[in-house]
Amino acid sequence: MPLVAHKKLPTFERLRAEGQRILSPERAQAQDIRGLHIGLLNMMPDAALAATERQFFRLVGSSNPISQFYVHPFTLDVIPRGKAAQAHIDEYYESFASIRESGLDALIISGANVTESNLAKEVFWDQLCEVFDWADENVTSTLCSCLASHALLQARYGERREGLPSKRWGVFEHEVVRRDHPLIRDTNTQLFVPHSRFNEVYPEQFSRAGLHVLIQGRESGVQLAVSADGFRTVLFQGHPEYDSISLMKEYKRDVGLYIDRKSDRYPPFPENYFDTYTQALLNEYKGRVVANRRASVEAPLFPEALIRDRLHNTWHDSGEAVVGNWIGLVYQVTHRDLKTPFMDGVDRNDPLGWLSGDTTRLQ
C-alpha cells in the first residue's frame, strides 16, 4: 500500500518518480483504511541523511498491502549538523516533543556514525536512551538498525559490542534459525543481507539478554533478533534497507579518503558484491590512483557510470518480507478503537501469542 505524502518532504517526490505509489492526504482520507503512523529516528550523518530517509521510506512503502503509512522523520538535536542538513531538518523533520505528543504506532531507529568504543560516551547517548524509554512505554514495536541495536543492547541489557579485527563489509548469506516466528513467515529460509560495521554483538550476548535470534549468518553473525516478549523490540545488525548502490557509494567514499590522504590504506572490496569484471576494472583504477598519489597528481574520476548497471540487489525482497510482516503484526496488535488505552487487552509479555503458541488473535 502507498505512503501518504502528509508533508512536502522531497523524499516523497523522489520515490514517486521511481514508481512508488504516493497518496495525497486528501486521497488517503477518502479511503476507509486505518493508517499507521511510523516514526523514523534518523541519526545518520549529513551526507547520508536524505539517502537513509529514502531507503527506509522505500522499504516501508513497498512492504505491506494492509495499510497506508504516515512516516514521521525526526532526529536528535545534539547531533552536530552542517547548514544544509540542518535546514532540511528544520523544514521537514518533526521534533521529538511533537512525536511524543501525537504518538506513534511503530518506530524505526537508524544507525549512526560514532567515534567512541563505549557508546555511552557518544554525544547522542542520553537523548537516544530517552527515546528508548519513551518507546518502551508508548510504542507498539520498535525496530532498531545496526548501531541502534548495539546501543539498545548496551542501554537495556548491559551487553556491549566488541570490536572486530577488520570491517565486516559486504553482502552475506544467512539462515532462518527460528522458523516458527510470525516475523519470518513466508520468507526464504536462506537469504542475503548487506553488513557494514566495525563491531559485533555475538549470539551468546543475545542469549544472555534473553533475546530470541531468528536469522543468523555463519560469517556475519546475528542479523535479526527480537525481545523476550517476541515483538516489542526488533533488532537488525545488517542493512536490508540498503539500495543496490549503497556499498558502492561507501567504497567510493573510502577511496576518496585515500585520495585526500585522510587514510593511508586503500580500501578492500566489500565481500560478495562486485562481480569479476567490476573488480578487474576497479583494480585497474586503483593502480592509477596509487600512482597519481605518489606523483602528487590529481586522481582520475571514479568509474561509477561503468559500475552501476553491474550491481545486483539480492536482499531487498527478503528485507521487504520481514518489514512487511512486522508492519502487519503492528497493525493487528493495534487494530482497536483508537479511544482505548495503548495496546488495551494485549498481553505485553506475549503480544503475539507466540510464546504461548496461541496465535489465533493474529488470524
158 CA to centre of own chain: 22
Task: Kindly report the number of other CB atoms within 10 A of residue 107's CB atom.
Answer: 26
Residue 4's pLDDT is: 81
Nearest 5°: the CA angle 68, 74, 75 is 150
Structural domains of the chain, ranges and CATH numbers in brackets:
3-242+313-362 (3.40.50.880), 246-310 (no CATH)
For the annotated catalytic residues, the residue numbers are: 146, 239, 241
Residue 335's pLDDT is: 55
Worst-scoring range by mean pLDDT, 28-32, 38-42, 59-63, 231-235? 28-32
Confidence of residue 28 (pLDDT cuts 50, 70, 90): low
The strand ranges marked E within 189-255 are 190-200, 212-217, 221-226, 233-236
Span 226-271, pLDDT tens digits: 999 999 999 999 999 999 999 999 999 999 999 999 999 999 999 9
Task: Kindly report the number of other CB atoms within 10 A of residue 65's CB atom.
Answer: 8
Residue 269's pLDDT is: 98
In the predicted model, what is the mean pLDDT of the chain?
90
Confidence of residue 342 (pLDDT cuts 50, 70, 90): low
The mean per-residue pLDDT over the stretch 69-77 comes to 95
Crossing angle, helix 46-61 and helix 246-259, to 10 degrees? 170
| pTM of structure | 0.88
